[in-house]
């Protein structure tokens, strides 16, 4: 009969694998809008909040800043752009393709506060959005 420690370890491993599979699904295989079969990906985000501001960091490796569209639709932050494969169209052989590419759209629910975008910059492949809480 397995020990409780082994059961807990196996359960923990299973949960981690399920979470990893869900992340991969969201990043690489999310279907586009109904009526279209366009594949999309969702970049991962980190969100930080203090008394005065909300900081959102979006991982966008290889996406040029001028191609990134940021908008707020009601209480939802929408980030859209696309990432091209660096050697697309060349006669190279692809040995591994792990970094997502193609069109993406990421929607982030914002708290019901009056927010003002204070700063937007691309730092080390991450889009950093700094929102000031207006009160």
Mean pLDDT along residues 113-124: 93
Q: Is the pLDDT of residue 32 over 50?
A: no
Q: Give the global pTM.
A: 0.69
Q: Pairing relation of β-strands 30-31 and 53-59?
A: unpaired
Where in the chain are the domains?
1-31, 42-133
- Note the pLDDT tens digit of each residue in 47-65: 999 999 999 999 999 899 9
**CATH (residue range 42-133):** 2.60.40.790
Mean pLDDT along residues 1-15: 76
* Higher per-residue confidence, 58 vs 135: 58
Residue 109 phi/psi, 5-degree rounding, is -70, 125
Q: Is the pLDDT of residue 134 over 70?
A: yes
Closest by alpha carbon to 118, among 45, 50, 44, 54? 54
Amino acid 47: pLDDT: 96
Q: Pairing relation of β-strands 102-109 and 115-123?
A: unpaired
Gap between the Cα atoms of 117 and 129, Å rounded: 7
Q: How far is CA 63 from CA 15, 49, 50, 51, 97, in A?
A: 32, 25, 28, 31, 16
Amino acid 16: pLDDT: 84
């Amino acid at each position: 009969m397995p020990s409780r420690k082994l059961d807990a370890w196996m359960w923990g491993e299973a949960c981690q694998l399920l979470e990893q599979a869900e992340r991969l699904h969201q990043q690489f295989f999310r279907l586009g809008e109904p009526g279209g079969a366009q594949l999309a990906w969702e970049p991962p985000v980190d969100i930080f909040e203090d008394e005065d501001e909300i900081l959102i960091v979006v991982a966008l490796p290889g996406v040029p800043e001028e191609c990134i569209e940021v908008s707020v639709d009601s209480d939802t932050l929408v980030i859209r752009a696309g990432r091209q494969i660096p050697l697309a169209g060349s006669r190279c052989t692809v040995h591994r393709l792990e970094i997502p590419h193609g069109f993406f759209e990421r929607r982030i629910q914002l708290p019901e506060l009056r927010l003002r975008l204070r700063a937007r910059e691309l730092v080390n492949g991450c889009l950093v959005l700094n929102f000031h809480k207006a009160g």
